[in-house]
Amino acid sequence: MIVEIGHYAVVTALLLSMLGVAAPIIGLKRKNAAWVQVGQRALILTFVLITVGMVAMIYSYLTEDYSVKYVYATSNSKLPIFYKIAGLWGGHEGSLLLWAWILAFYSMAAATLHWKTQPVVMPYLILMESIVLCGFLLLILFLSNPFERIFPAPLDGKDLNPLLQDPAMVVHPPLLYLGYVGLSIPFSFAMAALFSGRLGEEWVKVTQRWTLFAWICLTAGILMGGYWAYYELGWGGYWGWDPVENAAFMPWLVATAFLHSVMVQETRKMFKVWNLFLIILAFSLSLIGTFLVRSGILSSVHSFAADPGRGVFILGFVAFMLLLSFGTLILRSAKLKSSVTIESVVSREAIFLFNNLFFLVALVTVFIGTLYPLLMEVLQFNKVSVGPPYYNAVFMPVALGLIFLMGIGPYIPWRKTTAKNIKELFGLPLMLAFGAGVLLFIFGIREEYALASMTVVAFVAAAIFIDFRKIALFWGKRDRVNPFLGFLSAYRRNPRRIAGLITHVGVLVMIVGITFSSLYQTEKILIMKPGDEVSLKSFQLRMATLHGAEGVNWEGKEALFDIYQEDRIVTQMRPQKRFYTVSQTPTTETAIYQTNMGHLFVTIPEVSPDGTWARVRVLHNPLVLLVWYGGGIMGIGGFLNIFRRDRKRSVVSVASGVTAKTAPSLASGRDGIVAQRSES
């Protein structure tokens, strides 16, 4: 009964989202704001109704109603409550519902928060969001209905995929969707800018925090997925360049490029079309990602079950969105006069362009790497695989170039610079970087990649440190406080810049982690019996026992390892080989011992049927924790940026007023500045 209520609620939500498409169009045609209001109300109600659908599904999970097919497929009475709820996004249908719900939430929030301040954008925003919602609700209701019943009702569920019974996996999909879907808001604003012809800086400024929030969620979601893969799949890596991972990484790359290039538009009013293109591309890539993951078109560990019907529908939808958005961009931008003013090739805006070039090349690398096997199949050539060795060879140099730019872009002045200036700015960091490289070489780092990446990291770190030191001393002296307070004072004066640099610090920390954990990983695979010993780096691992173990919904084997360091026992580790009885799936549970910032990592991927020996995989991953700590710092930088207090808001409007008056060539009558003034 409850499930049927949920079902009807979502059906009604679909009808309302159709109204959300129609109402703003009528409103625009008749120039009647009341219709736009109808659209907004429809959007809010859509959110409420999808929430009802979500609650109904969760209710049937909690009440163990296995007559609902999807609940039957992704849950079991033995599951802990936590995983019962998470079962909702443990499969294709439910995770789509979550997608739609998050989308509805974002739309509702944007349509409410900006209702007063952005009346011109509103109809287009409501229209675009409703279109996307409509597409996903159609897909849910007609091709992947989670509310479907089965008869007769099974007694118990088939269980949630054991690999997903994990805390990281519970939060990973919602975070990822918050990121994917969050990009729809700046996308809608961009489309509104295109439709309304207000291609000024306003949409960029308004959507900044939306983009940042989506970016943080996407970053966190990707890293969480990496952590999950790291200890749940049990091969000791966190990133396998799997098509599904790439599908999340591609929008991230474009969103990051976008976050950078909008700064040029804000300060120098350039690259308007480019920014529109980037945000459309970012959201399109999240839609394409959805298509790749859910159509079963690519071979991947994470893909959902294939169904050509779904694939065709999603592809149709993606095609519609791509053609609509890029088509509008082409038609509108053809009329836009470019207003580029570059004074020097060596200037911050120029470096931003190179930054974008590198991001684009990085994207292209991942994109063709992911789709190349598909292309070969379609062309009926020999089938090929593109795996980590390819990306290591091609992606990494490009990434290194990007990181190098991190040490230049933030310090080079806008507009132009002199040779003397450059020497002052980068002389010291370059010397420090060179020194660091030599030092690392002396300390026995011989891998070319490690040397290259650490030298670049040292360069960027030195540049950031010198900058931080300079502003801390300066403001400390000015405000007559110590340098630390001086730094805080500097932060208050320009929070955006410093938050951005903190994110850069996070990237550096992560790069150190990635470099060392991948290039200096040591690993052994061997067969061990109780009593056997193996040594890895400074550790001795002795398998004490190999015994049976069981949990609520699994049974299996556990190995007990005594870990010695210099003949002293430091810890015990208990890797397991589990067999989940309901779903009949084996899993490998990792045991991890933290040493400094690294991990000792033990799994037993295989235990002999008679239980006398186990195949053991032992790994030492130096500095691997820095990957996630770096991610954490990136997130902190992002949040500082979202919650920053902008100074001198009044100056902005007055100043842009001045701009509009005195620079008629820019304010071609449709410019955002004029719009802003007439609204305020």
Amino acid at 420: K
Query: Is residue 352 part of the contact set for other proteins (CB under 8 A)?
Result: no
Token digits for 661?
A: 């008056």
DSSP readout, 475-541? HHHHTTS-HHHHHHHHHHHSHHHHHHHHHHHHHHHHHHHHHHHHHS-EEEEEEE-TT-EEEETTEEE
Q: Find the largest Cα–Cα distance for the chain.
A: 86
Distances from the Cα of 445 to the Cαs of 435, 448, 604, 680, in angstroms?
14, 8, 31, 60
CA atoms within 13 A on the CB side of 658: 5
Beta carbon nearer to other proteins, 61 or 313 = 313
Helix (H) or strand (E) holding 555: strand 554-565
Q: For residue 512, which amino acid is it?
A: V
Distance separating alpha carbons of residues 74 and 425, to the nearest angstrom: 58
Task: Tell me if 354 contacts other proteins by CB under 8 A.
Answer: yes
Burial of 448 (0-12, 13-18, 19+ CB in 10 A): exposed
Regarding 474 and contact with other proteins (CB under 8 A), the answer is: yes
User: Among residues 137 and 604, whose Cβ is nearest to other proteins?
Assistant: 604
Among 5, 55, 376, 428, binds other proteins (CB under 8 A): 376
In angstroms, the CA 158 to CA 144 distance is: 18
* Of residues 11-40, those binding other proteins (CB under 8 A): none
Interface positions, 268-287, toward other proteins (CB under 8 A): 268-269, 277
Q: Is 582 in the site for other proteins (CB under 8 A)?
A: no
- Site for other proteins (CB under 8 A): how many residues? 113
Piece of the chain touching other proteins by CB under 8 A; list 34-42, 68-76, 449-457, 578-586: 578-586
Considering only residues 228 through 257, tell me which ones interact with other proteins, judged by CB under 8 A.
Answer: 234-235, 237, 240-243
Which stretch in 89-97, 347-355, 436-444, 543-551 sits in contact with other proteins by CB under 8 A? 347-355
Q: Which is nearer to other proteins, 31 or 610 (CB)?
A: 610
Out of 59, 105, 195, 390, name the contact with other proteins by CB under 8 A: 390
Residues of this chain, 86-105, that bind other proteins according to CB under 8 A: none
Does 155 participate in binding other proteins (rule CB under 8 A)? no
Residue (551 or 586) nearer to other proteins, CB: 586
Nearest to 295, CA basis, from 528, 22, 92: 92
Can residue 161 be called a binding residue for other proteins (CB under 8 A)? no
Question: How many residues are given for the chain?
Answer: 680
**The dihedral of CA 330, 332, 337, 340: what is its sign?**
negative
Helix (H) or strand (E) holding 585: strand 585-589
- The reply to whether 398 sits near other proteins by the rule CB under 8 A is yes
- Residue 301 CB, nearest distance to other proteins (Å)? 5
Where does residue 101 rank: exposed (0-12), middle (13-18), buried (19+ CB within 10 A)? buried
Q: Closest distance between other proteins and the C-beta of residue 372, in Å?
A: 5
Question: Residue 566 gets which letter from DSSP?
Answer: T
Given the complex with other proteins, which of 48 and 233 has the nearer CB atom?
233
Q: How far is CA 117 from CA 104, 120, 122, 569, in A?
A: 20, 9, 9, 65
User: Where does this chain touch other proteins (CB under 8 A) — which range of 69-77, 169-177, 352-360, 448-456?
Assistant: 352-360
Q: Which is nearer to other proteins, 218 or 329 (CB)?
A: 329
Report d(CA 178, CA 170) in Å as an integer. 14
As given in the structure block, the two tokens for residue 668 are 């071609």
Please identify which residue in 59, 105, 115, 372 interacts with other proteins, judged by CB under 8 A: 372
The token duo for 23 is: 């109402």
Interface residue with other proteins among 666, 668, 670, 677 (CB under 8 A) is: 666
In the list 34, 330, 438, 569, the residue contacting other proteins (rule: CB under 8 A) is: 330
Dist CA 225 CA 559 (whole Å)? 27
Out of 155, 382, 446, 669, which residue is the one contacting other proteins (CB under 8 A)?
A: 382
Kindly state the tokens that stand for 460.
Answer: 């960027």
Q: Can you read off the two tokens belonging to residue 37?
A: 């209001």
Name the one range near other proteins by CB under 8 A: 252-260, 301-309, 502-510, 635-643: 301-309
Residue 51 sits in the site that holds other proteins (CB under 8 A): no
Q: Binding residue for other proteins (CB under 8 A) from 485, 530, 606, 629?
A: 606
Q: Which is nearer to other proteins, 41 or 670 (CB)?
A: 670
Decide if residue 368 touches other proteins (CB under 8 A): yes
Residue from 34, 113, 375, 439 that binds other proteins (CB under 8 A)? 375
∠ CA 467-473-475 to the nearest 5 degrees? 100
Among residue numbers 194 through 233, which ones bind other proteins (CB under 8 A)?
201
Binding flag, residue 520, other proteins (CB under 8 A) = no
Q: Given the complex with other proteins, which of 410 and 632 has the nearer CB atom?
A: 410
Mark residue 76 as left, alpha or beta (left: phi above 0; alpha: psi -120 to 50; beta: remaining): beta
Q: Mask of contacts with other proteins, 407-446, x by CB under 8 A?
A: ------xxx-------------------------------
Based on the shown chain and the rule CB under 8 A, indicate whether residue 341 belongs to the binding site for other proteins.
Answer: yes
Segment near other proteins (CB under 8 A), from 344-352, 430-438, 543-551, 565-573? 344-352
Can you tell me the distance from the alpha carbon of 92 to that of 88, in angstroms, rounded to the nearest whole number?
9
- Candidate list 81, 378, 419, 442; residue touching other proteins; CB under 8 A: 378
62 scored as a contact of other proteins (CB under 8 A): no
Instruction: Determine, following the binding rule CB under 8 A, whether residue 315 of this chain makes contact with other proteins.
Output: yes
Closest CA to 677 of 666, 658, 432, 668: 658
| 80 lies in the site for other proteins, by CB under 8 A | no
- The β-bridge partners of 535 are 540
